[in-house]
Structure 1
Amino acid sequence: MERPAPDFTRSTALADRLHAMVPGGAHTYARGDDQYPEGMAPIIERGRGARVWDADGNEFVEYGMGLRAVTLGHAYAPVVDAVRNVLERGVSFTRPSTLEVDAAEDFLATVTGADMVKFAKNGSDATTAALKLARAATGRDLVAVADQPFFSTDDWFIGTTGMHAGIPAATRDATLRFTFNDIDSVRALFAAHPGRIAAVFTEAATGMVAPEPGFLQALRDLCTAEGAVLVFDEMITGFRWAAGGAQEVHGVVPDLSTWGKAMGNGFPIAALAGKRELMELGGLATDEGRVFLLSTTNGPETVGLTAFRAVVRAYRTEDPVAAMRHAGERLAAGANQAIEAEGLQDHLLVAGHPNCLVFLTRGPDGLPSQEFRTLFLAELLRGGVLGQSFVVSAAHTDADVDRTVQAVADAIPTYRKAIEHGSTDGLLVGRPVAPALRTYAAPRRR
């Protein structure tokens, strides 16, 4: 039975109201309606499992799952019940709570390479705190970061992107770039800036790129030899590659690591973890000048810590990582089979780590295309699928995956027509989506 086309009248009106009050119409750039086809950007009212319902009553199978923060599914009962129960005990106190002891023990039992942990609410705060520790420990100023999309909203990183307005050139110049999986590119930075690189930041793995054999260990050895601090960003990989992140999978221990997203299954919590000699620079067991490390009013509030502890319990008693892998592998296989059956594999492809899939949209020339991405997104929405990616959760059932594969298959005739015509003209309504981190509001200026 053909599904009725979704209506977005109320969502569009609510988006207009948001834009009048909130810069960009969202509190995260990746959530902006410029990331979706014009007039087809749902405003969400509720979610359960892998499904969400918008302000117009449309139901979607959702991917991306809270920007990769939800691995157990929306409104996952054990986490919600634990949070509900803790509310009657108070949320924030003048002194540490017993939950801080329990949560720290849970974290360090999960991330076995770390000696100490400090909780926060925002992943960017954790990565910036890691850089501050590295600079204090080494007395150096520069930081080397892998050519990966995102590490922090703070000036030291965001200054390297297209959205660097308001950030001094001196700050931007203190951040250097290297190529992931290319150890010689890291060596070249150390050679060009002897004695000045405080830290090396990288994701140990990404959805699209796994570390080549020996790369992470070579990076570990090089940082040790050069006296630099090695930092793994586990925001995405933590609790998605494994409970203990990509460092658990690949067996290489960094000096510091930063965590967030899936730690709380959508509840806000982040963490900085690492070696005692570094972490204590922000504590009391040091004779060195003290680092003003993470010091947040809401970092240790009881709701986030309780959600985290419930997530840890779920990973001990169930196997969400395997469930995500099953859903992701099934989705990639089904979608790509439908695509290949129509000979469109050079223009449309589902790729990446099974637990962190993306779809690649290419135009007639075989190059990545925002126009064709927008066309595909619109067709998915018409098929009841919402997502800028195909990032799954453990809540995605076989039925959810089957519905998604069908939505992909249903999108193919329109996609094929655009490829054959050489453009999306006459098929795409409105302007195409645009990169979230770009210098100007155009091409989606309101």
Structure 2
Amino acid sequence: MRYLPHSEADRAHMLATIGVADAEALFAAVPPSALQLHALDLPRHSPELSVEAHMRRLAQANHAAGDGPFFLGAGAYRHHVPASVDHLIQRSEWLTAYTPYQPEISQGTLQMLFEFQTQVAHLTGMEVANASMYDGSTATAEAVLMAKRITRRNRVLLSGGLHPQYRDVVRSYLGEDEDLICLSPSPEGQGDILDRLDDRTAAIVIQTPDFFGHLRDLRRAADAAHAIGALLIVVVTEIVSLGLLEAPGALGADIVVAEGQSLGNALNFGGPYVGLLATRKSFVRQMPGRLCGETVDASGRRGFVLTLSTREQHIRREKATSNICTNSGLCALAFSIHLSLLGEAGLVRLARLNHERANTLADGLARLEGVRLLNGTFFNEMTIALPVPAAEVVEALAMRGIIAGLPVSRLLPGDPSVDNLLVLAATELTTDQDISALIEGLREALA
């Protein structure tokens, strides 16, 4: 919409200042078909109070995650975030900080990222971690590119238990690459990824707990990959699980990528989230993103600097390891603060509580006629097979205010073998009443 000052004198002064004869000359380069010549068909402006009331009415039509029983997971989890996290990240020292290019004025941001990296390295059992990435899916794709550079091979195997959206992001990165092998979904268990290894393989990508909730045998996968010179990339979408499960690095992983949303970051309608990436020290020069390090200044005082930044903004494009041009700084800060508040003992207790809630859910599901639990192992997420299409059951329960999980068909459309599969997650916020409501709702829907 074209805009000029309302006053004729102001209009004339502006046109004279910029050296054009009339207003039409301002738009000479715009094709006539793109010009908006008439007022848009929008309501007249309203008082702020009326707009606020209208927006509140619209918001009341939503059903938020905390409005009733909620069993969605599949890469985005509803956990309790302490109020202190939100308070601390809004302090001006953090909220107004941007990128740490000038260490002399960015010590707070740099130290936070250094501590964040340390936490991620400890969680994953790896030697070095970067200062975060966009989210778990893009971190996975970056890890695949990293593995291809390290091994100088092209063939990559994606497990059938990898989150479908993560698989799609990797496909988007690699394009129509015939060396990218995506195995079929493996709802019942491990799949046959290790049978596909050969001396052309750069890496295998395995998620644990996987999309269907199964825990994967990382040690066996690492041994098989290393035997033919390939790397093992481990994906973790539920970072809280590492409070209870052995760290992937201790089991032979070469690169660990994860979604950190579960700590410090609410669901937020799908983002922004925070991608984690950690690896072995010997691979650090091929690691994407940025790395903050500790040093001393000219006076011998402790300080922090940007040790490694291998992005296309900083070096020649052909030498860059990534074109992700930032880290998720505020989300990484929230992650780090929440994890600091928990401490090691608190994270372990939180993980145990998640697993206990999932066990209670699994016990209830096992008593339902016609429902089959596919998992022999799980952390806080599992898959059940229903006698009818899962999407129909989820819609029926949604009408009762129960968000009953994710129908697998939503992320794998066109695959009739998954139509009856439903993925459910339970966290520390899942109550006995929530589980009872779900079980009763499923019993009635299946009747």
Same fold (TM over 0.5): yes
User: What does residue 276 of structure 1 align with?
Assistant: 281
TM-score normalised per structure 1? 0.63
Which residue number in structure 1 is paired with residue 150 of structure 2? 137
CA spacing shift, 1:262–1:323, aligned 2, 3 Å:
same
User: CA offsets, 1:214-242, max 9 Å, x none?
Assistant: x4323212222211111101123x22x22
2:446 to 390, 397, 415: 415
**Equivalent residue number for residue 175 of structure 1:** 181
Give the Å deviation of 1:327: 1.6
Secondary structure of the structure 2 residue equivalent to 1:201: strand
- How far apart, in 2, do the equivalents of 1:46 and 1:88 lie? 28
Aligned length: 325
Which one has the largest radius of gyration?
Answer: 2
Match status 1:381 vs 2:398: yes
Partner of 2:327: 299
Q: Would you say 1:77 and 2:105 are equivalent positions?
A: no
Match of 2:136 in 1: 123
2:336 to 309, 318, 324: 309
What residue ranges of structure 2 are gaps of 5+ in the alignment? 1-59, 267-271, 289-307, 311-316, 406-422
1:18-417 alignment runs, 5 A limit: 44=62, 46=64, 51-52=66-67, 60-64=68-72, 67-70=74-77, 72-73=79-80, 75-85=81-91, 89-95=95-101, 97-98=109-110, 99-150=112-163, 157-158=170-171, 169=176, 171-175=177-181, 177=183, 181=190, 186-190=194-198, 194=199, 196-206=200-210, 207-211=212-216, 215-236=217-238, 238-239=239-240, 241-243=241-243, 246-248=245-247, 251-260=250-259, 261-266=261-266, 268-282=273-287, 292-294=320-322, 296-301=324-329, 303-313=330-340, 314=342, 316-318=344-346, 319-337=349-367, 339=368, 344=369, 346-347=370-371, 353-363=378-388, 370=389, 373-388=390-405, 389-396=423-430, 400-416=431-447
Flag the 1:408–1:231 CA change in 2: closer, same or farther, 3 A: same
Partner amino acid for 1:311? H
C-alpha separation between the residues in 1 aligned to 2:325 and 2:130? 16
Shift of residue 415, structure 1, vs aligned partner: 1.7
In the TM superposition, residue 46 of structure 1 has moved relative to its aligned partner by 5.0
Is the alpha carbon distance of 1:64 and 1:152 closer, same or farther for their aligned partners in structure 2, counting shifts above 3 Å? closer
Q: Per the alignment, in what secondary structure is the counterpart of residue 386 of structure 1?
A: coil
| 8 Å Cα contact 1:106/1:309 also seen in 2 | yes
SS of alignment partner, residue 237 of structure 2 = coil
* Aligned partner of residue 256 in structure 2, secondary structure: strand
Change (3 A) 1:333 1:282: closer
Letter in 1 for 2:437: Q
Q: Counterpart of 1:235 in structure 2: which amino acid?
A: T
Q: Report the CA distance between 1:306 and its aligned residue.
A: 1.6
Q: CA 1:84 to 1:401, structure 2 compared with 1: closer, same or farther past 3 Å? A: farther
Structure 2 Cα separation of the partners of residues 61 and 208 of structure 1 = 20
Counterpart residue type for residue 332 of structure 2: L
Give me the identity figure in percent. Answer: 12
- Is residue 132–residue 327 contact of structure 2 (8 Å, CA) maintained in 1? yes
Q: Tell me if the contact between 1:83 and 1:306 (Cα under 8 Å) persists in the aligned partners.
A: yes
Equivalent residue letter for 2:401: G
- CA drift at 1:404: 3.2
Distance 1:250 1:325, change over 3 A: farther
Kept in 1, the 8 Å contact 2:135–2:273? The answer is yes
How far did 1:126 drift? 0.9
Structure 2: distance between partners of 1:187 and 1:149: 17
Letter of the 1:390 counterpart: L
- Partners of 2:89 and 2:95 within 8 A in 1: no
Alpha carbons of structure 1 residues 233 and 167: separation in structure 2 relative to 1, 3 Å: closer
Partner of 1:9: none
User: Once the two structures are superposed, what CA deviation does each residue of 1:48-72 show, in whole Å capped at 9, x if it has no partner?
Assistant: xxx23xxxxxxx222225x443353
Maintained 8 Å contact 1:70/1:265: no
What SS class does the counterpart of residue 306 from structure 1 fall into?
A: helix
* TM-score normalised over the length of structure 2: 0.62
TM-superposed CA distance for 1:307, in Å, is: 0.8
Deviation at 1:172, TM superposition (A): 4.3
Tell me the distance in 2 between the aligned counterparts of 1:167 and 1:274.
21
Q: Quick one: distance in 1 between partners of 2:326 and 2:113?
A: 12
Q: How far apart, in 1, do the equivalents of 2:161 and 2:149 lie?
A: 25
1:88 deviates by: 5.8
1:116 is displaced (CA, Å) by 3.1
Kindly indicate whether the alpha-carbon contact (under 8 Å) linking 1:282 and 1:291 is maintained by their aligned counterparts in 2: no
SS of 1:304 mapped into structure 2:
helix
Give the partner amino acid of 1:146: S
In 2 relative to 1, CA 322–110 (structure 1 residues): closer, same or farther, beyond 3 Å? same
> For 1:348 and 1:182, how far apart are their aligned partners in 2?
19
